[in-house]
Structure 1
Amino acid sequence: MKIEMIVERTKTGYSAYAAKYPVYTVGSSLDELKQNIVDALNLYFEDKGKIISTEDLKISLDLPQFFKFYKVINVKALSERIGMNQSLLAQYIKGNKKPSTIQTRRILKGVQQVGRELAAVQFIG
């Protein structure tokens, strides 16, 4: 059983809510958030005798919220990098359209590639 948790970036960290259960929590980091999610779900399922671990979670990041928080990501440049129509990507980001699983993976792969490249940068100084 995978429990889907929708994660949003906030000014103070992260928040998450369960897609099918009345469970909500926050954390200042993703690691803290995951632990808080497990704790909150275990409280919810306590009377049912279920024990939840991180392996039981499906973490989903809300695409519009991600791009709202990370405004530094240029939609035009990302769309060119991943070979997606800029207008279509903009509609996904605004929440006007919901991307398919394949399109979501494509966007995620592009964002992660940019992240890896940025993490490897070193300035001469």
Structure 2
Amino acid sequence: MKANIVFEMAKDGGCSCYMLEEVPDFGLLGYGNTPQEAKADMLQAYEEIKELLIAEGKSPAELEFVYHYDMKSFFEYFDFLNVSKVAERAGINPSLMRKYTSGVANAGEGQYLKLQKAIHSIAHELATANF
């Protein structure tokens, strides 16, 4: 069963992630100083809930997580990506992209679609690269 997980960076610099769907027995949330910490917190809760359900004689659902990021949490999580270079590839002004990732400005749906297309292109190039 697919579970959509949304990451959001807070104004205080912390991060949270939560499950969009309602799945019986699972109401997953995660918190941390970084998206990595929030994800680890949520996955730990998932494993603990599964253990409790098994102890109760239940068969917990196996969830396949699909992660959704806002721009700030995306570039925080994938901190090895150069924001300006990704912006150029997406056809977004690098200065504007830095404002998006710092939380100074908010991107519209069109900008997110450009970014998603560029990220998928990068992922494809990486997947087909060989040494």
Which category of TM-score, normalised to the shorter sequence, fits these structures?
Answer: 0.5 to 0.7
Letter matched to residue 104 of structure 1: Y
2:120 aligned with 1:119, yes or no? no
Are the counterparts in 1 of residues 91 and 114 from structure 2 also a CA contact under 8 Å? Answer: no
Deviation at 1:18, TM superposition (A): 4.9
Q: TM-score, normalised by structure 2?
A: 0.54
Q: TM-score, normalised by structure 1?
A: 0.56
What SS does the aligned partner of 2:80 have? coil
24, 29, 34: which one aligns with 1:24:
29
Aligned residues: 98
2:105 aligned with 1:97, yes or no? yes
2:72 aligned with 1:64, yes or no? yes
Deviation at 1:120, TM superposition (A): 0.6
1:8-39 deviation digits (Å, cap 9, x = unpaired): 6xxxxxx62257x98515569xxx96xx5xx8
Aligned to 1:75: 83
What SS does the aligned partner of 2:130 have? coil
Letter matched to residue 101 of structure 1: E
User: 4+ residue runs of structure 1 moved beyond 6 angstroms?
Assistant: none
Matches of 1:106 and 1:76 in 2, distance apart?
A: 14
Percent of residue pairs identical: 26
What SS does the aligned partner of 1:7 have? strand
Matches of 1:69 and 1:82 in 2, distance apart?
A: 19
- For structure 2, list consecutive stretches of 5 or more residues without a partner in the other structure: 9-15, 31-38, 50-62
- Aligned CA distance change for structure 1 residues 59 and 120 (closer, same or farther; 3 Å): closer
Aligned to 1:7: 7
- For structure 1, list consecutive stretches of 5 or more residues without a partner in the other structure: 9-14, 40-53
1:40-69 deviation digits (Å, cap 9, x = unpaired): xxxxxxxxxxxxxx8xxx963122111012
Deviation at 1:113, TM superposition (A): 0.8
- Aligned CA distance change for structure 1 residues 18 and 96 (closer, same or farther; 3 Å): farther
